Amino acid sequence: TKSIRAAMRVIAEEHNGKVPDTMEKLRELPGVGRKTANVVLGNAFNKNEGIVVDTHVTRLSQRLGLTKQKDAEKIERDLMKLVPREHWTDWSHWLIWHGRRRCYARKPDCSRCEVFQLCPSGKVFLRTGQAQKRD
């Protein structure tokens, strides 16, 4: 909450109460990193400046074979090369939803996975008992 209050203070004092609409200005706010700036730009301003990379996006990107990276900015760069820019915000939402509802860190629900046929990890998880069984 300290960072939120500090960011609100800066927005009020330096931006006339308006949330900045550029990556550079957002990242200058206390507590705002690239992930938060991407969320704000994509959702509040409909600007696709990057792909949100959180724990879910990291996990799914690796499981789907879209990246071998572990660093969020490197993962984001890899994904930005694969996904058309106009879909970056939606792609972020889909991966986060999928990570929360299907592709859990432990025991992913491969039985209900919408992209099971495309996922190189799903078949391995099922074969080794690391995933919930398919129906």
User: Would you name the residues annotated as active-site residues?
Assistant: 35, 54
Distance CA 133, CA 135 (A): 6
Which pair of tokens denotes residue 75? Answer: 């993962």
Distance CA 37, CA 43 (A): 10
Residue 87: Cβ within 10 Å count: 12
| Residue 56 phi, psi dihedral angles, 5° rounding | -70, -45
Candidates 112, 114, 47; CA nearest to 86 is: 47
* Angle, CA 114 vertex, CA 47 and CA 108 arms, to 5°: 100
